[in-house]
């Protein structure tokens, strides 16, 4: 039974609970198992509005929730982080960034063609660049498992404890190194190659990049050997389809740039990462950032050869090391 089936089973049990018992348990549910609104799930950066002929790059990311910006705990209430600052850097250089993220937790969680095209990209159509940045889920350590109840409990305690999660995570880091076990395995064999072939069939000629996820600062968060294995097993698939692999943003490994879990970036870290990724994309794909009028005059965007070397600006936001 996979995670989706387990979640469906848990929801069915909730629905079957007698109404009287639900009333008694409702305060406990709200305190411990409440489901907050997800501030990042449907967040997008739109293309330029009608009448705005600014050049823009439409980026579609298939990735996990490490793009959230966290002040303390990782929660569903945490907003989108570094993509917002990517957009700021695009604007500074005279371009507009259109951006959409479709959540993909691991290599077995990619959307099928109908979901991807007819449901999630129906209004936006063909992207200019596709980023795949996922796969690390099986390396995450846990003690109580990954199910609906443990997820909601972590979510609510983390949100309510706020900055107290920093010292709590320091203690958890040590405990997880001893007692933690990795999450269920979902390797590249579960769908990475099929998904890349789907992308290339649906949107032929659109550049695809595989971006490494950033390493957590706290080693207790993950099992490094599992993370290394995931990348090693994904590499032959990426090579076979000529998918370039982009290293994680070169950000100092310090908690000064991270939320309490040592993985998600705080505001300062998110700004630095957004600056780096914006300049990476503009260095490689500036030629695809066309004006709406240019796109209307062309059936498809140009596919000029990518530069063999990429020179990124050396001026970045200040980062405390």
* pLDDT value of residue 132: 95
User: Of the candidates 76, 97, 72, 71, which has an alpha carbon nearest to the alpha carbon of residue 85?
Assistant: 97
Strand-pair partners of 211: 246
Contact yes or no for 254/215 (Cβ under 8 A): no
DSSP state of 120: I
Strand-pair partners of 19: none
Taking the C-alpha atoms of residue 271 and residue 279, their distance in angstroms, rounded to an integer, is 12
Contact yes or no for 58/128 (Cβ under 8 A): yes
Q: Where are the domains of the chain?
A: 54-296
User: Of the candidates 161, 135, 142, 121, which has an alpha carbon nearest to the alpha carbon of residue 232?
Assistant: 135
Left (φ > 0), alpha (ψ -120 to 50) or beta: where does 145 sit? left
φ, ψ for residue 222, nearest 5 deg: -145, 175
Per residue of the chain (321 residues), what is the pLDDT tens digit?
555 666 667 667 766 777 776 666 566 565 555 666 777 778 888 888 888 889 999 999 999 888 898 888 877 778 899 999 999 999 999 999 999 999 898 898 899 898 888 888 888 889 999 999 998 888 888 887 776 667 777 777 777 787 888 898 899 899 999 998 888 899 999 999 999 999 999 999 999 999 998 889 999 888 889 999 999 999 999 999 999 999 999 989 999 999 998 889 999 999 999 999 999 999 999 999 999 989 888 755 555 455 544 455 555 555 554
Would you call 130 exposed, middle or buried from its count of C-beta atoms within 10 A (0-12, 13-18, 19+)?
A: buried
Neighbours of 135 (CB within 10 A): 27
What are 131's two structure tokens?
Answer: 């980023």
DSSP state of 147: S
* pLDDT value of residue 205: 94
Provide CATH code, domain 54-296.
Answer: 3.40.50.1110
* pLDDT value of residue 1: 57
């Amino acid at each position: 039974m996979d995670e989706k089936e387990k979640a469906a089973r848990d929801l069915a049990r909730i629905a079957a609970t007698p109404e009287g018992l639900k009333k008694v348990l409702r305060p406990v549910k709200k305190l411990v198992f409440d489901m907050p609104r997800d501030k990042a799930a449907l967040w997008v950066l739109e293309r330029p509005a009608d009448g705005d002929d600014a050049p823009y790059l439409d980026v579609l990311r298939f990735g996990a929730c490490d793009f959230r910006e966290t002040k303390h705990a990782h929660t569903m209430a945490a907003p989108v982080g570094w993509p917002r600052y990517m957009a700021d850097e695009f604007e500074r250089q005279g371009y507009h960034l259109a951006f959409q993220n479709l959540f993909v937790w691991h290599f077995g969680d990619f959307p099928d063609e109908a979901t991807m095209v007819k449901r999630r990209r129906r209004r936006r159509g063909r992207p200019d660049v596709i980023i795949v940045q996922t796969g690390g889920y099986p390396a995450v350590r846990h003690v109580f498992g990954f199910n609906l109840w443990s997820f909601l409990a972590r979510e609510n305690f983390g949100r309510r404890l706020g900055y107290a999660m920093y010292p709590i995570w320091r203690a958890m880091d040590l405990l997880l190194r001893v007692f933690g076990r990795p999450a269920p395995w979902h390797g590249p064999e579960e769908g990475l190659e099929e998904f890349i072939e789907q992308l290339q069939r649906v949107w032929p000629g659109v550049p695809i990049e595989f971006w490494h996820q950033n390493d957590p600062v706290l080693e207790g968060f993950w099992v490094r050997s599992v993370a290394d294995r995931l990348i090693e097993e994904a590499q032959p698939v990426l090579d076979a389809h000529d998918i370039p692999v982009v290293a994680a943003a070169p950000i100092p490994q310090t908690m000064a740039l991270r939320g309490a879990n040592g993985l998600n970036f705080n505001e300062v870290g998110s700004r630095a990462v957004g600056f780096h990724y914006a300049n990476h994309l503009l260095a490689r794909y500036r030629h695809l950032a066309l004006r709406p009028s240019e796109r209307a005059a062309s059936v498809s965007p140009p596919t000029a050869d990518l530069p063999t070397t990429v020179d990124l600006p050396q001026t970045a936001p200040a980062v405390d090391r």
